[in-house]
């Protein structure tokens, strides 16, 4: 591996003062005896490759009846030379007892973070759709996707706050697992209905809506302490001793917390990436529209929009940090029902 000439070097200095007896002054704000220096380097691999995707599809369409179409397709996608969402710290020490700095490959540095194009991803899906073209005042679309996505990268490096930390940076295969985007099933039903009323005030009404059901996306299990003694809790996961996705699926305990155990001291843990399945999505968005002609060219539109019409509770991801009291607990949820009124005039 080569480092680019444009790499940056940052050096930080930490000074901890005595809380009872002042030992730092303006004249000597950084006493030599109290200085703790750290050196962090961020580099870009000189051989960084351009990421690319290969996509393929095979599909068939068939008209089942007049204005009723069935569409089925297999979709494939392979990502190669992907840039990881989290930089690789090649100065990670091997797990073990004793001082962390002494076990680092480059003891004079704290971390050496490298951007590399060493990631890959695979996506396979079966998409089934049923479409009823607008006829008799009704249009209907039903779409179901059954898919699976795995990767070694976590996310694209441009995505914020969603990358997975790597455990052993020298064992990339250990981080091949479910992608954070992996939702096995997604069903979407959309519809538009023009109400068959006549008259100045009763005509021009339209109902529309979108109903979505989706299984949960993966959640990564971590630890609250540095069991491997590598200088970062992000390098650690618990041992996997059972199936985590057989839990009661309640806010108090979403997954089977007994499926995890404390690993042996100075080990990374055996749990793979993203083995927990989080809560799914169930929601219906609805709108009622009234169009009224004004003059020769004007149109007045009244809109009533309701988001999450049935007020379904869509939970956020559970706490997945092993060793904490909140392990397995869900503490938040998505938006409740929202109602919005609108008025638009075009001329």
H or E element, residue 57: strand 52-65
User: Is residue 154 one of the residues assigned to a domain?
Assistant: yes
Nearest alpha carbon to residue 122 among 150, 154, 152, 93: 150
**For residue 235, what pLDDT is reported?**
84
Task: Flag whether pLDDT at 207 surpasses 80.
Answer: yes
Confidence category of residue 35, pLDDT binned at 50, 70, 90: low
∠ Cα 157 163 165 (to 5°):
115
Task: Flag whether pLDDT at 163 surpasses 60.
Answer: no
Residue 166 is classified by DSSP as P
**Region 273-283 average pLDDT:** 95
Is-contact 66 134, C-beta < 8 A? no
Percent of the chain with pLDDT over 70: 89
Q: What is the mean pLDDT of the chain?
A: 86
Task: Flag whether pLDDT at 6 surpasses 60.
Answer: no
User: Is residue 307 one of the residues assigned to a domain?
Assistant: yes
Confidence category of residue 28, pLDDT binned at 50, 70, 90: confident
User: Is residue 83 one of the residues assigned to a domain?
Assistant: yes
**For residue 8, what pLDDT is reported?**
43
Q: Which domain holds residue 244?
A: 48-346
User: Is residue 27 one of the residues assigned to a domain?
Assistant: no
38-59 confidence digits (pLDDT tens):
677 778 888 888 999 999 999 9
**For residue 5, what pLDDT is reported?**
43
The span from the CA of 178 to the CA of 127, in Å, is 20
Task: Flag whether pLDDT at 3 surpasses 70.
Answer: no
The span from the CA of 185 to the CA of 214, in Å, is 6
User: Is residue 30 one of the residues assigned to a domain?
Assistant: no
The span from the CA of 183 to the CA of 181, in Å, is 6
Q: Name the pairing type of β-strands 218-219 and 276-277.
A: antiparallel
User: Is residue 11 one of the residues assigned to a domain?
Assistant: no
Is-contact 337 314, C-beta < 8 A? no
Q: Is the pTM of this model over 0.85?
A: no
Domain count across the chain: 1
User: Is residue 81 one of the residues assigned to a domain?
Assistant: yes
SS percent in the chain: helix, strand, coil, step 5: 5, 45, 50
User: Is residue 43 one of the residues assigned to a domain?
Assistant: no
70-102 confidence digits (pLDDT tens):
999 999 999 999 887 566 788 999 999 999 989
**Count of other CB atoms within 10 angstroms of residue 149:** 20
């Amino acid at each position: 591996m080569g480092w680019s000439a444009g790499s940056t070097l940052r050096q930080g200095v930490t000074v901890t003062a005595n809380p009872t007896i002042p030992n730092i002054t303006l004249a000597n704000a950084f006493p030599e005896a109290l200085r703790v220096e750290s050196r962090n380097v961020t580099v870009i691999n000189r051989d960084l490759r351009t990421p690319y995707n290969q996509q393929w599809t095979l599909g068939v369409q068939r008209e089942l009846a007049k204005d009723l179409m069935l569409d089925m397709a297999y979709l494939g996608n392979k990502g190669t030379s992907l840039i990881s969402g989290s930089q690789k710290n090649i100065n990670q020490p091997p797990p073990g007892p004793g001082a962390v700095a002494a076990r680092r490959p480059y003891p004079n540095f704290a971390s050496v973070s490298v951007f590399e194009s060493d990631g890959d991803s695979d996506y396979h899906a079966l998409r089934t759709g049923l479409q009823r073209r607008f006829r008799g005042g009704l249009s209907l679309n039903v779409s179901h996707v059954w898919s699976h996505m795995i990767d070694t990268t976590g996310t694209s490096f441009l995505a914020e706050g969603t990358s997975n930390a790597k455990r052993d940076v020298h064992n990339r295969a250990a981080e091949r697992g479910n992608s954070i985007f992996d939702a096995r099933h997604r069903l979407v039903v959309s519809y538009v209905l023009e109400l068959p009323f006549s008259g100045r005030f009763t005509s021009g009404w339209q109902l529309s809506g979108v109903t979505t059901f989706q299984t949960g996306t993966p959640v990564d299990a971590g630890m609250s302490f540095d069991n491997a003694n590598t200088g970062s809790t992000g390098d650690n996961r618990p041992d996997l001793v059972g199936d985590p996705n057989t839990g009661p699926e309640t806010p108090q305990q979403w997954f089977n917390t007994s499926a995890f155990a404390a690993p042996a001291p100075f080990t990374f843990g055996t749990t793979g990436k993203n083995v927990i399945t989080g809560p799914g999505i169930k929601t219906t968005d609805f709108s009622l529209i009234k169009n009224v002609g004004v003059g020769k060219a004007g149109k007045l539109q009244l809109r009533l929009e309701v988001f999450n019409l049935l007020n379904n509770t869509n939970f956020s991801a559970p706490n997945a940090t092993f060793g904490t009291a909140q392990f397995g607990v869900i503490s938040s949820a998505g938006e409740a029902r929202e109602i919005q009124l609108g008025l638009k005039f075009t001329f």
